[in-house]
Structure 1
């Protein structure tokens, strides 16, 4: 290990002092969980330890990518995030056939379209320092919304099978027969994103804005960035959510336009 690498390790270890000290707050949560007999002590410790490790590794990865300034690394990092997000969203909607692939494709389309528009309008330069963090925020929100949309759509169709079958018997197409269930799943999935946009700055100061202010940026500059972030989150989440309904609803029906009962019988 040369001198420069040793110096980087020293700076890293010094910088991790405060995050390590912050685990004192975790100790309070663990103690309270033990007192209340929640049984969440191990999960709390595991979750924070995993986050600690993942973020530490990501820090080194980003240092490497930022130093290369190569578009290929941006694409690879973005695709990795989409794959992980698709898998996670698919796990939430695990009873939807091919859920992981549907979620991944929906997230890819929604976030790529949004990022393409932002780059074309010169809102963000196409550099790792901007694109990777921004993509991470979009992919994370799209992941949550897509997973909820698919899961809720299946649950509503399962509960309202008789209503859907009646519509099909009267000559409606599968899409027409499920329009209300699709609409309901989209509204439920997107509501938290929209509620967050309504209350931003009044109840909470979001991460991007807070980070800039703590780094010393002027508050107005931080606010301008946060406005851009809120717009892109709503846009990417909406496209991804709608895309997931178009991709997953055919799996709920047979080729004869009848409900696929095997999909709904899984518990």
Structure 2
């Protein structure tokens, strides 16, 4: 009896009964495991079509299972904490991973990882500050961490695509840019068209998603609320807020990426840094 009570006390750390949490987790994994049948069919199709990506499919879904399972327990712990430091820690971790991932996409841009990380931090941080300042969301882990995750993920994609496209367009049109520089244009003026084109390409998926939301697809936040028992009107109201913040964070991050990467494309004497464009994407 005493031993069971002791075990229970140690299990309920920081307000969480971890033994019960693990039991609920294992029971709840039944449906996700059953849904693997869809992946099995996809792997079978890949094999029959000789695509050669069966191992990658299996690895990807296994990694997703592991990552989501771990983050589930991490969030279970963070949601019980009252200190805002846990929110900031989780946010900084997300930004770091996103910056690294976006930097890998734009691998030929010098210091792409740092540029991406700083851009994502600035863009999503500004958006988050506005949302909290306007009291759209309270500063609690249950609200801020999921919201930050959506914004950071979206900004990561936009930043990576923008940097990659900007460098490639500038590489293909070096002659035009150098001519403009020779005629007295500043680096910003000489490459303005390439920068604008890169931003438009990077933001296009976000804009298309905003224009078609509700008509073609029901986004994850809205679907999750409806499946969780919320009314469709409540789900729609939240989704509108989500679309606003995603568009804002993506735009801020994309624009910051162009400014932060600027010094690496030009020399101090206002000439193109040719070694940056030596390799094609």
**TM bucket by the smaller chain?**
over 0.9
Instruction: Provide the residue aligned with 1:118 in structure 2.
Output: 131
List alignment gaps of at least 5 residues for structure 2.
1-5, 9-16
* Residue matched to 2:142: 129
| Cα drift, residue 255 of structure 1 | 1.3
1:174 aligns with 2:179: no
> Which residue of 2 is the match for residue 238 of structure 1?
251
Q: CA deviation at 1:105?
A: 0.3
Could you give the per-residue CA deviations for residues 217-261 of structure 1, whole angstroms, max 9, x where no partner exists? 011000000000000000000000000000112201111111111
Determine whether 1:2 maps to 2:15: no
- 1:85 Cα deviation from its structure 2 partner: 0.2
Where does residue 160 of structure 1 map in the other structure? Answer: 173
Aligned to 2:100: 87
2:44 to 25, 31, 34: 31
Instruction: Please give the secondary structure, in 2, of the residue aligned with 1:68.
Output: coil
Q: Quote the residue 2:14 is aligned against.
A: none
Aligned to 2:199: 186
Matched residues in 2 for 1:199 and 1:224: separation? 16
Deviation at 1:165, TM superposition (A): 0.5
1:49 aligns with 2:62: yes
2:151 pairs, out of 138, 149, 161, with 138
Deviates more, 1:156-165 or 1:4-13: 4-13
Aligned counterparts of 1:156 and 1:183: Cα–Cα separation in 2:
11
> SS state of the match for residue 257, structure 1?
coil
Report what 1:222 is aligned to: 235
Q: TM-score, normalised by structure 2?
A: 0.94
Moved >6 Å (runs of 4+) = none
When the two chains are superposed, the root-mean-square deviation of aligned CA atoms in Å is 1.0
Q: CA deviation at 1:7?
A: 2.2
Match of 2:87 in 1: 74
Question: Deviation string for 1:105-154 (max 9, x for gaps)?
Answer: 00000000001000011000000000000000000000000000000000
Give deviations 1:44-74, integer Å, cap 9, x for gaps: 0000100110000000000000011220000
Cα distance, 1:104 vs structure 2: 0.2
Aligned to 2:221: 208
Q: Which of structures 1 and 2 has the bigger CA Rg?
A: 2
Q: How many aligned positions are there?
A: 267
SS at match of 1:110: helix
Structure 1 unaligned segments of length 5 or more: list them: none
1:13 to 26, 30, 35: 26
In the alignment, the residues of structure 2 paired with residue 52 and residue 168 of structure 1 have an alpha-carbon distance, to the nearest angstrom, of 52
